[in-house]
Amino acid sequence: MLLLTSLGAAAAPASASLNQLVETRLVPQLEYLVDHLGAERDAMRLDGVQVLDAGDKFLPGKIALGISDLIDVHQHTAPARVARDLETFRAVAAMTARMDDKTWGIYYYLLALHKLERAGLLSKAIDMATLTGLRKKLDWRNFVRPDLTLIDLPANYYGVAFGVARLRYLLGWEDATGSQRLLDRLLAHYREYSGAYGFSDETDGEGRFDRYSILLVAEICERLMETGMPVPDELKSLLRRSADIALNIANPHGDGFSFGRSLGPYGDTAPLEILTAAAVLGVLTPDEQSHAYAYVSSITAKYANFWFDPALHSVDMWTRGRRTDQYRAEHRILGENFSLLHQFLAANALWNSAGWRDLDPPIDLTDWVARTRPSFDLVWFAKGEYDRALALVRDGSQLFSLLIVNGGAGQHANSPYYPLPFALGLVAGIPDSGAARAQLLPRLELDDGTVLLPTAFIKDITTREDDGTRRVSFHQDALARLGGRSPQPDARVSVTTEYRFESGSIVRIDRFATRAPLHVKRMSLDFASFSDAPQADGTGWRFRAGRVDRFSVEGAGACSALPADAEDRAPEGPMHSRIHCERQDVDLNGSLTVAWTLSYH
C-alpha cells in the first residue's frame, strides 16, 4: 500500500481485509508498546516524551485497556504470551496507582477490569490491594455532581459517566441505581439539546455541533453493547441519521470529518465507530453494510499508512507539520496510541462477529457513493432563534463540508468552527487558531478596539440548485464580537452570505450592512493554503503547486502572498503559503461587499 508522506497525497484504497489490516499492521504496534512499557516501566519514552511523567489525565486507564486488549488477542493467537502480558498488567497497575485518572481514563480502566473478569483472569492481573484502591478511585462521582450535572465538561461526557456506573455495577462495586439514573439523564439531555434532528449540541444550547454531535449516539450505543444492555429503538433511529452522514462522506482514502475540534485520526475514526455500530445493530441495508465495511477498511488502512509513523513506533499527530489542539497535545502520546488501537480492535471484533472476518472489501466505493448518495445535502442540526446545519457538497469525488454553527464558549474564535467549506487538501481550520488571522473570513476591527467576525448568529439558511450551481445562503443580524469566552452579538453590522459551488470552483460573497455610519479601522482576510508558489496574475493569485489553481478576493483591499509560518498547520499537515488581504480606514455607510473565489482541481 501507499505510504502517505504529505497532505493530500492519493491514498490507496484498502486492498486487504479489515481483519488482516488489524492483525498484521495494528496488533504488532500494540505488542511493541506493551512490551516496551513492561520492560522500561516509568523510564519509557516515545518521541522524547517520558510518557508516565507527562501529565496525561487519562493514561492509567488507557494503559490498562491497551494491555487487556493485547491479552484478549493473545488468548486466541499466542496463548504462551498471556502469562507475560498478565505480569506486565500487574506491575504497571501497581506502578500507576499513584497517578491521576480522569473521566475517559476511569471508563477505560473499568472496561479493562471487566474484560479481565469475564475472561477469568482478573485475580492474576492485579493484586487485591491495588484493586481495592481502584474501587475507591474509579468512580463517576468524581466528575458528576449529586444533581447529575457534569462538572465543567461537555455533553458527551454523560455517556462516559453512564459507562463508568454501569461497569462498576457489573464488577459488583455498586447497585444499578446510579447507572440507570445516569442513562435516564443522558437520554433526557440528548433529547433536550438534539431537538427534532437528533444531533447533540456540545453546549447547553449555544449551538456547537461538530463530529462529537454526530458520533455521540454511536458512543452511547457502544456503551450499551459493551455492558450487555439492549439498544432501544429510539437510539437506533438516531444512529441511522448519523450513519447517513457517514455514508455521505464515505471515500476509499479513509478520510473522515474535517471540521471542529480534536480531529487528526479521530476525525477518521468517528465514521468508523458510527458505521460499525450501525452495521452490528442492523440499521443498514445489506448493500450499505458492504460499502460501510469498505469505508471502515479504508479508514484502518489510512491509520496504518498515514497516521502511524514506524520510525516513532507511534501515531503522529504532532510532527511533520501536523497540529492538534492543546487537548490532544503530545504529552498524551502513549494514551493516544492505546485508545486509537482500541477503537480499531473493537470495531474489527464487531465486524468479525457479523461475518466479515477476512473478507475483501468492495472496490467500487467511489462509484457507489456517486450512484446512491446525494451530491448536495443540507443536514439540519437545529432551528430556532438561530439556525445550525451542515451542507455537504460533492464535486465528483471531492467533498466539501460547509459547517454552519456557533463554536460557542472557548471555540467560537477558532477557525475549525468557522462557516467554511472544509475539504482535505483545499480548505482547513487551524486548531486553537484564534482570530488574529481569520481563515477565509472578513475580520473587522473598529475604532473602539472591537473585533467582529461573521460566525455565530446565523439565521435563514437556504439552499438551491440551478444549472449546475449549488447555492447556500444565510443571514446574520449581528456579527460576533470577540474577546470573551463566548461570542457576543454586535448589531452595528449585519451580513448576508452566499456560497456558490460549481465544478472546480467555490465563490463566497458577504454583503455587509450597517444601521448607522461606522468607521472600520482595519479589515483583513487570510487564506492559509496547502498549495504553494502563488504568483500574482492581475486580479488574483495563481498557484504553481498543489490542488488550488487560483484564489482571488474583491472588496478586502490589497492582497499579498506570504510564506506560511509555524502557526499555519492543520491536523493532517502544514500549509505552504498564505494570501493576506488588508484594507484600512473603511467607512461603512450602508453596505459593503466582500467576495472571494477559489478554483481547484
Over residues 241-277, the pLDDT tens digits come to 999 999 999 999 999 999 999 899 999 999 999 999 9
Q: What is the mean pLDDT of residues 386-408?
A: 97
Q: What is residue 193's predicted lDDT score, i.e. its pLDDT?
A: 77
Model confidence over 102-126: pLDDT tens digits? 999 999 999 999 999 999 999 999 9
Binned at pLDDT 50, 70 and 90, residue 2 comes out as very low
Distances (CA, A) of 249 to 259, 423, 523: 13, 11, 35
User: Domain boundary at 370, 385, 410, which?
Assistant: 370
Binned at pLDDT 50, 70 and 90, residue 29 comes out as very high
Domain that holds residue 162: 18-370
Kindly state whether residue 6 falls inside one of the protein's structural domains. no
Is the domain of 363 the same as that of 384? no
Is the domain of 365 the same as that of 387? no
Kindly state whether residue 232 falls inside one of the protein's structural domains. yes
Is the domain of 385 the same as that of 348? no
Q: Beta strand 569-570 with 573-574: parallel, antiparallel or unpaired?
A: antiparallel
Kindly state whether residue 131 falls inside one of the protein's structural domains. yes
Is the domain of 66 the same as that of 116? yes
Q: How many domains does the chain have?
A: 2
Kindly state whether residue 3 falls inside one of the protein's structural domains. no
Is the domain of 505 the same as that of 359? no
From 169, 163, 219, 170, select the one nearest 190 (Cα to Cα): 219
User: Domain boundary at 370, 386, 403, which?
Assistant: 370
Tell me the residue type at 16. A
Binned at pLDDT 50, 70 and 90, residue 13 comes out as low
DSSP state of 406: -
Kindly state whether residue 171 falls inside one of the protein's structural domains. yes
Q: Is 55 left (phi over 0), alpha (psi -120 to 50) or beta?
A: left
Considering the chain, what is the average pLDDT of its residues? 94
Is the domain of 333 the same as that of 390? no
Tell me the residue type at 173. W
Kindly state whether residue 7 falls inside one of the protein's structural domains. no
Is the domain of 385 the same as that of 362? no
Is the domain of 365 the same as that of 379? no
- Does pLDDT of 10 surpass 70? no
User: Domain boundary at 370, 399, 431, which?
Assistant: 370
- Residue 502, domain CATH: 2.70.98.70
Q: Can you tell me the distance from the alpha carbon of 547 to that of 346, in angstroms, rounded to the nearest whole number?
A: 36
Is the domain of 305 the same as that of 382? no
- Residue 23, domain CATH: 1.50.10.10
Is the domain of 496 the same as that of 521? yes
Model confidence over 51-62: pLDDT tens digits? 999 889 999 999
Is the domain of 348 the same as that of 459? no
Q: Can you tell me the distance from the alpha carbon of 512 to that of 507, in angstroms, rounded to the nearest whole number?
A: 16
Q: Give the predicted TM-score (pTM) of the model.
A: 0.94
Kindly state whether residue 9 falls inside one of the protein's structural domains. no
Distances (CA, A) of 591 to 475, 523, 549, 553: 14, 14, 31, 17
Is the domain of 258 the same as that of 175? yes
Q: What is residue 14's predicted lDDT score, i.e. its pLDDT?
A: 59
Kindly state whether residue 1 falls inside one of the protein's structural domains. no
